[in-house]
Amino acid sequence: MSHTSHPNSLVYLIGAGPGAPGLITVRGKECLGLADVVIYDYLANDDLLRFARPDAELIYAGKVGGLHNREQWQINALLVEKALAGNVVARLKGGDSFVFGRGGEECEALVDAGIPFEIVPGVTAGIGATAYAGIPLTHRGVTTSVAFVTGHEGHDKEVSQIDWEGLSLGSGTVVFYMGIKNLPQITKNLMAHGRPAETPVALIRWGTRPEQEVLTGTLADIAEQARRTGFRAPAITVVGEVVRLRDKLRWFDNRPLFGRSILVTRAADQAGEFGAMLGALGARAVECPTIAIVPPESWDDLDSSIARLDRFHWIVFTSVNAVRFFFERLTAAGRDSRALGNCRVCAVGPKTAASLAPFGIRPDLIPDDYKGEGVVEVFRSENITGKRILFPKGDRARDVIPQGLAELGAEVEAPVAYRNVTPDALPPGVIAELEERRIDCATFTSSSTVDNLAAILGENRLLHLLEGVTIAAIGPITARSCRELGLEVHIEPREYTLAAMTGALADHFTRRG
Ligand code: SAH
């Protein structure tokens, strides 16, 4: 062993799973977050890179300068070089590194260089994609074994290394990786060695992802079907009677919004919840923030209120953002929740209330009605005459609360804690998807989302990019704003909630089939 590795040198060989980001292991995610350098592959979902540290160096192992694929020896050399330089390196590979992933070769290079490593197993495509296609690899009474086989063996091989006879004679499930191009040879070989021509076969492309495509047929006809429909890699080929179970067990690619790409135009920090609701129905949510939450022009007002906190009887929070910025400034002033000791707390809506919990605060008052009017109403039964109330607010907050509370005799101070601004631009990926007509539906959850989108893109470009896109507006005011910009509104839920909006989308797209 000629090298001595740096004391920090360490490589994590991480299986990223088959595509859906949630299918990485807990340990894999943990190790990604520890890495100084992440070297990732084509088949590893890029979404996982957000688990890397923001300052980590990200290296795409697929192409060199966008040109040709790196050779395996070059990847090995890169791993060794980065680790020897004293880095913790995460090598992120699609599926599992040790299943047709050349992980063994990379480990050999690490052993030769004296670099310590840890292997984090992943969900291999043969397991992940079949599960998401509703095909159990084994099934009691149907099949007792399963084989993972490369479908990539060169045609010119005089003597195949694959035991075609063994694979063909039994009733076991056979999963071919990298076999789409060779499908005619594969199916011919299996039939020639004794598998019945009517054996069911499924091709699963981009399994577990929103783009998943499944084609089913038999050994006799699947190659021709694949040719006719232009079915392409990356896909696995599943051969065996278990494929029939898909008819009954299919669960993923028949969800009401499966395969739909839906634009979510909420503020980035609120998009996650709606995205998750859409995702649960099979949609791919494409985040397109049209509202950014930023600090006020100056902290003076809020800081001054915070400095006099013990003089207030009440503090009213109407959003998670208000809570966030208030506590940021409280912390900046060198204080903590105890500064609210004399102050009672009103939180509007369950989410705002929940955002107070990490600060050890349980609200005294949570109005049933989440609007400003509801806050005023609930204070009617508190005696607030002559009481001082602090209301840290967003710059676009209506005057309902300060006015209403003042009418009840309170003295209200309402410093701006954050501003809603329109971002200058959309994420470049979103524009590309709109231009390529890959978005099925755009959702607007407030007038400002559509107005801001128009402001960012310009009205003509908005109309052009949304041509043919289904438009969903959460309520009549938002719908009117859409129409004023010249957009036709196709979906409007009865109730103005995200849940109702999600339901209306599902109905709409199910009806359209
Ligand atoms: N190490 C990977 C396999 C890499 S070989 C794993 O364990 O999954 C590349 C082949 O894997 C592709 O040609 C395809 O056959 C298969 N594959 C990888 N991801 C896939 C996916 N999401 N859906 C279907 N097949 C996939």
> Considering only CA atoms, which of 473, 428, 470 is closest in space to residue 450?
473
> Considering only CA atoms, which of 373, 416, 424 is closest in space to residue 392?
416
Is any ligand 1 atom within 6 A of the Cβ of residue 95?
A: yes
Q: Going by C-beta distance under 8 Å and a sequence separation of 6 or more, which residues neighbour residue 298? A: none
First CA to last CA across the chain, in angstroms?
63
Helix H or strand E encompassing 104? helix 103-112
Supply the residue whose CA is at minimum distance from atom 9 of ligand 1. Answer: 178
At 245, the amino acid letter reads: L
> Considering only CA atoms, which of 485, 475, 300 is closest in space to residue 371?
475
Is any ligand 1 atom within 6 A of the Cβ of residue 44?
A: no
CATH class of 10-122: alpha beta
- In angstroms, what is the span from residue 287 Cα to ligand 1's centroid? 27
- In angstroms, what is the span from residue 128 Cα to ligand 1's centroid? 10
CB count within 10 Å of CB 74 equals 12
CB count within 10 Å of CB 409 equals 11
Per-residue burial over 338-366, b if 16 or more Cβ lie within 10 Å, else e, is eebeebbbbbbbeebbebbeeeebebebb
Say if CB 218 and CB 199 are below 8 A apart. yes
HSE, CB side, 13 Å, CA atoms: give it for residue 314: 26
Active site residues: 41, 63, 178
How is domain 127-249 classified at the CATH fold level? 3.30.950
Domains in the chain: boundaries: 10-122, 127-249, 261-291+424-512, 294-420
Q: Which two tokens stand for residue 322?
A: 């208000």
Is any ligand 1 atom within 6 A of the Cβ of residue 233?
A: yes
Is any ligand 1 atom within 6 A of the Cβ of residue 129?
A: yes
| The domain made up of 261-291+424-512 is a member of CATH 3.40.1280.10 | no
Say if CB 390 and CB 343 are below 8 A apart. yes
Q: Which two tokens stand for residue 173?
A: 């499930």
One fold for 261-291+424-512 and 294-420: yes
CB count within 10 Å of CB 406 equals 15
- pLDDT value of position 349: 81
pLDDT tens-place values along the chain, 513 residues long:
445 678 889 999 999 999 999 999 999 999 999 999 999 988 778 789 999 999 999 999 876 666 677 889 999 999 999 999 999 999 999 999 999 999 999 999 999 999 999 999 999 999 999 999 999 999 999 999 999 999 988 655 567 889 999 999 888 999 999 999 999 999 999 999 999 999 999 999 999 998 899 999 999 999 999 999 999 999 999 999 999 999 999 999 999 999 999 999 987 666 788 999 999 999 999 999 998 889 999 999 999 999 999 999 999 999 899 999 999 999 999 999 999 998 999 998 888 899 999 999 999 999 877 778 888 999 999 999 999 999 999 998 889 999 999 999 999 999 999 998 999 999 889 999 999 999 999 999 989 899 999 999 999 999 999 999 999 999 998 999 999 999 999 999 998 888 999 999 999 998 765
- pLDDT value of position 47: 83
Q: What is the DSSP string of 172-203?
A: -EEEEES-STTHHHHHHHHHHTT--TT-EEEE
Is any ligand 1 atom within 6 A of the Cβ of residue 215?
A: no
Is any ligand 1 atom within 6 A of the Cβ of residue 431?
A: no
- In angstroms, what is the span from residue 57 Cα to ligand 1's centroid? 25
Per-residue burial over 146-169, b if 16 or more Cβ lie within 10 Å, else e, is bbbbebebeeeeeeeebebeebbe
- pLDDT value of position 67: 65
CA pair distance 5, 82, nearest whole angstrom: 11
Ligand 1: atom nearest CA of 208 is 22
Supply the residue whose CA is at minimum distance from atom 18 of ligand 1. Answer: 125
- pLDDT value of position 2: 47
Is any ligand 1 atom within 6 A of the Cβ of residue 231?
A: no
- In angstroms, what is the span from residue 283 Cα to ligand 1's centroid? 22
Say if CB 250 and CB 204 are below 8 A apart. no
CA pair distance 378, 367, nearest whole angstrom: 6
Crossing angle for the helix pair 447-457 and 476-484, nearest 10 degrees?
20
Crossing angle for the helix pair 400-407 and 372-379, nearest 10 degrees?
20
Q: What is the CATH number of domain 294-420?
A: 3.40.50.10090
Is any ligand 1 atom within 6 A of the Cβ of residue 203?
A: no
Q: Which two tokens stand for residue 218?
A: 């038999």
Q: Residue length, the chain?
A: 513
Is any ligand 1 atom within 6 A of the Cβ of residue 234?
A: yes
Ligand 1 pocket: which of 43, 75, 137 to mutate (most atoms <8 Å of CB)?
A: 43
Ligand 1: atom nearest CA of 96 is 7
Q: Could you tell me whether strands 470-473 and 411-413 are parallel, antiparallel, or unpaired per DSSP bridges?
A: unpaired
Q: Show the DSSP H helices in 285-371 as ranges.
A: 300-307, 320-332, 350-356
Supply the residue whose CA is at minimum distance from atom 24 of ligand 1. Answer: 235
- pLDDT value of position 1: 47
- pLDDT value of position 269: 63
- In angstroms, what is the span from residue 264 Cα to ligand 1's centroid? 30
Ligand 1: atom nearest CA of 103 is 1
- pLDDT value of position 66: 60
Ligand 1: atom nearest CA of 19 is 22
Kindly report each contact of residues 26-34 with a partner whose C-beta sits within 8 Å and lies 24 or more positions away, as own/partner: 27/120, 28/120, 28/122, 31/90, 31/118, 31/120, 32/90, 32/92, 34/88, 34/90
Ligand 1: atom nearest CA of 236 is 15
Ligand 1 pocket: which of 13, 174, 177, 215 to mutate (most atoms <8 Å of CB)?
A: 177
Is any ligand 1 atom within 6 A of the Cβ of residue 130?
A: no
Place of tokens 């003509």: 460
Is any ligand 1 atom within 6 A of the Cβ of residue 178?
A: yes
Is any ligand 1 atom within 6 A of the Cβ of residue 289?
A: no
- In angstroms, what is the span from residue 177 Cα to ligand 1's centroid? 6
Q: Show the DSSP H helices in 242-340 as ranges.
A: 246-249, 268-280, 300-307, 320-332
- pLDDT value of position 170: 85
At 4, the amino acid letter reads: T
Kindly report each contact of residues 143-148 with a partner whose C-beta sits within 8 Å and lies 24 or more positions away, as own/partner: 143/171, 143/172, 143/173, 143/240, 143/241, 143/242, 144/171, 144/172, 145/170, 145/172, 145/173, 146/172, 146/173, 146/174, 146/175, 147/172, 147/173, 147/174, 147/175, 148/99, 148/100, 148/124, 148/175, 148/177
Is any ligand 1 atom within 6 A of the Cβ of residue 94?
A: yes
- pLDDT value of position 396: 86
Q: Which two tokens stand for residue 286?
A: 């494409």
Q: Which two tokens stand for residue 227?
A: 């040719």
- In angstroms, what is the span from residue 205 Cα to ligand 1's centroid? 9
Q: Which two tokens stand for residue 27?
A: 């340990």
- In angstroms, what is the span from residue 251 Cα to ligand 1's centroid? 21
